[in-house]
Amino acid sequence: MKTIAIIPARFGSSRFPGKPLTLILGKPLIQWVYEQALKVEDLDGVWVATDDARIFDCVASFGGRALMTRDDHPSGSDRLAEAATLLKLAPEDIVINIQGDQPVFPPDLISQLAAVLRRDPEVVMVTPVKRLSDPLVAANPNTVKVVFDRAGRALYFSRSLLPFWRDGGHPTYYRHLGIYAYRVQFLQEFVHLSVGRWEAAEKLEQLRALEHGFAIHIVETTGDTREVDTPEDARQVEEFLRHRASA
Tell me the pLDDT tens digit for each residue of 18-44. Answer: 999 999 999 999 999 999 999 999 999
Question: What ranges do the domains of the chain cover?
Answer: 3-246
Distance CA 45, CA 61 (A): 18
Along the 247 residues of the chain, how does pLDDT read in single tens digits? Answer: 999 999 999 887 767 889 999 999 999 999 999 999 999 999 999 999 999 999 999 999 999 999 999 988 888 899 999 999 999 999 999 999 999 999 999 999 999 999 999 999 999 999 999 999 898 999 999 899 999 999 999 999 999 999 999 898 889 999 999 899 999 999 999 999 999 999 999 999 999 999 999 999 999 999 878 999 889 999 999 999 998 888 7
Alpha-carbon dihedral 175, 242, 112, 4, rounded to 10 degrees = 110
- Comparing C-alpha atoms, which of 12, 125, 24, 5 is closest to residue 67? 5
**N-terminal to C-terminal alpha carbon distance within the chain:** 39
How does pLDDT run across 72-88, given as a tens digit for each residue?
Answer: 888 889 999 999 999 99
Q: Domain 3-246's class?
A: alpha beta
Phi, psi at residue 20, to the nearest 5°? -60, -25
Q: What does residue 161 show for φ and ψ, rounded to 5 degrees?
A: -60, 125
Asked if residues 191 and 77 have their Cβ atoms less than 8 Å apart, the reply is yes
Beta strand segments in the chain, E: 3-9, 23-24, 27-28, 45-50, 66-68, 94-97, 125-132, 145-148, 154-158, 173-176, 180-183, 217-220
Rounded CA-CA distance 139/61 in Å is: 40
